[in-house]
Structure 1
Amino acid sequence: MLSLLSLVPIGLLCVGLGGAVPTVKSTRGVVSVDNMVLATFNLMEQYASAAYCKSNYNSPGDQIRCNDGTCALVQASNATSAIEYNSNLPTDVTGYVALDPSNKLIVVSFRGSASIQNWITNLDFGAVPTPLCTGCTVHRGFWQSWLDARSAVTAAVKQLSASHPTHKIVTTGHSLGGAIATLAAADLRNAGYQVASYSFGAPRVSSATLAEYITAQPGGNYRITHWNDPVPNIPPVLLGFAHVSPEYYINRPNGLAVRASDFRIYEGVVNLRGNAAWLVTDVLAHLWYFGAISITCAL
């Protein structure tokens, strides 16, 4: 089972790779996984991975790159950052907003846990009201992380979408970054933007009421989990937390290449199948999303 000690190394690592972005149509918010959708997931994961690399959160205006070559698809797209931000914010929320001219994307990416402030955020399980919807509550730490980044991110998205109106807006992140990306997408949608959200190994973010609300928003929610990754099981359902639906569960052990046929799709904001069905978890499953997560991304 999950322990706090087993989670500590997660924030020090980053994600691995592959894809391109098709236009997909969903039925009731659910998209079947074929090779084109898998390619999109690979690309989005590389953008999530790149948020761990210091060169992508302390040098705005440059090309998005990974020191260890783990975001080759992102580098091939010639994506450049419009803004980058990190530890001057109270929750140490870190990431970037980038323009991808090859895939016609505006990418909002958030880093997973990599500091003491991030871990304080993760463990701040209190539920607080949010203006995202009536009667909705949200994980206090994740919501504060989004609020810390909100003004800079929304200004960048506004500017880029005005100058590139045909570009698709996406949010992405791994672990803590995936939780923040989910809330960012919901808030940007309420502001009138069409946004697709991609998360990898994200924890639960909110009450069932808010999870249902985000699930019903247009744009697409792609909550991707892997094998017996422990992180999507926190905070626990017993504390009133739920996931955005659907879950795209990678039914394949660590260290193996992921195929489109390896996905199982489960609906429901309180879903005890897929990743949540595991009683014994393994932190290494959190470190394998389409490839191994490499610590060199943080160097």
Structure 2
Amino acid sequence: MRPLPAATLDNINPPVRGYRYFDHAESTLETGRGIESARNRWLLSEYALLAYDDAQRIGETLRDRSSRLHFLRGAGHKGFAYVADLDGHDAVLAFRGTQVFKPGDSLSKFGEVASDYWTDGRFAKRAAHGGGWMHGGFADSADELIDALLDTDLLASPRRWWIAGHSLGGALALLAASRLREEAEQRIAAVLSFGQPKVGDATFVSRLEELPVYRIVHGCDVVPTLPPAAFGFAHTSREHVIDAARRADYPRAVFNHIADYAQRWRQGLGALTPLALLDHAPIYYATHCYNEYVAGANAR
């Protein structure tokens, strides 16, 4: 079991420098089990966290885990995803979430960060094929990245797709899966999102229930509550809540978080992060998913 990393600014705002991805002896997908496998959920949380890193680090990390690697970049929205072709049959498609600017980043990253926030905030309704509507910013960014995927030769043969993303990346993963399933001979094995915001109205997301979708929500993470239901947005139904007791008693959780500051102040400014945002950190999703996998494996 792994302890939760300290709430430093570097840990809670990816990429996490020095993080050891896929650090377990059993670190290959159980391709016959889909989203029911705790190992698969942990591994896809690692792929989603890795999407925040740069192309060089992604390539180094996946050098021995994939036969081919493709990077997908959106032109207008500047979204990012990568494809790790595992063996010519199974492939992982991981989407990057909303970035933040960290000390040491190049000034050119400002434009990407601003574009991510523009994508998040532009939730004007866009009509969906078959009825209902989608979050306009998410839909446009997902379309750019899937169009980039269609420009590769990856769809020239049948593949089984494992799709993942955190936050904005989770929203893009779900919308991308809804398009990718329409491509001939392509099969969606799993769509895992971590701290995903809502992507459309109830009519639209009801059709996504046909996909093997699994939303993972950590404790008091506020992002899955956005955009508000009052604006007509809805979620797919299959949800797994980590630390559900804390989420169920939100006021007490916030009080405990504030009261615990005296124990956390050495962690720096990250210790001041509100609980609703702290629980959104992708490293905590990956750590909890790992611990659930190890706990389940040890119980067998």
Give the TM-score, by structure 1 length.
Answer: 0.68
- Once residues 67 and 98 of structure 2 are traced to their aligned partners in structure 1, the CA distance between those partners, rounded to angstroms, is 24
Residue 56 of structure 1 and its aligned partner are, at CA, apart by 5.4
Deviation, structure 1 residue 47: 1.1
Identical pairs, percent: 29
Residues 235 and 277 of structure 1: CA distance in aligned 2, closer, same or farther (over 3 Å): farther
Deviation digits for residues 74-127 of structure 1, max 9, x if unmatched?
Answer: 56524531x2133x611111111221129x521211101121000011011211
Question: Out of 172, 187, 207, which is 2:179 matched to?
Answer: 187
1:100 matched to 2:93? The reply is no
| 1:10-159 → structure 2 map (5 Å cutoff) | 12-14=13-15, 18=22, 19-22=27-30, 23-24=32-33, 37-55=37-55, 64-66=59-61, 74=62, 76-78=64-66, 80-81=68-69, 83-86=70-73, 89-101=75-87, 104-114=89-99, 115-131=113-129, 134-156=130-152, 159=153
Unaligned runs of at least 5 residues, structure 1: 1-7, 26-30, 58-62, 67-73, 254-273, 293-299
Alignment of 1:127-276 (within 5 A): 127-131=125-129, 134-156=130-152, 159-163=153-157, 165=158, 167-192=159-184, 193-195=186-188, 196-217=190-211, 220-251=212-243
Return the TM-score normalized by structure 2: 0.68
Structure 2 unmatched runs, 5+: 1-8, 100-112, 255-274, 289-300
CA contact 1:232–1:276 (8 Å) conserved in 2: no
- 2-side partners of 1:41 and 1:56: how far apart? 25
Would the alpha carbon gap of residues 181 and 9 (structure 1) be closer, same or farther in structure 2, given more than 3 Å must change?
farther
Contact preservation (8 Å) 1:56, 1:96: no
> Hey, what's the Cα distance between the residues in 1 that align with 2:210 and 2:95?
23
Structure-1 separation of matches of 2:247 and 2:231: 18
Whether the 8 Å CA contact 1:106–1:160 is kept in 2: the answer is: no
The residue type paired with residue 196 of structure 2 is A
RMSD: 3.1
Greater Cα radius of gyration, structure 1 or 2 = 2
Shift, 1:52, TM fit: 0.9
Cα-to-partner distance string for 1:107-164 (whole Å, 9 max, x where unaligned): 2111011210000110112111022xx22200011001012222111343xx33544x
Asked whether the equivalents of residues 113 and 176 of structure 1 are also in contact (C-alpha less than 8 Å), the reply is yes
Q: Note the C-alpha offset of 1:252.
A: 6.5
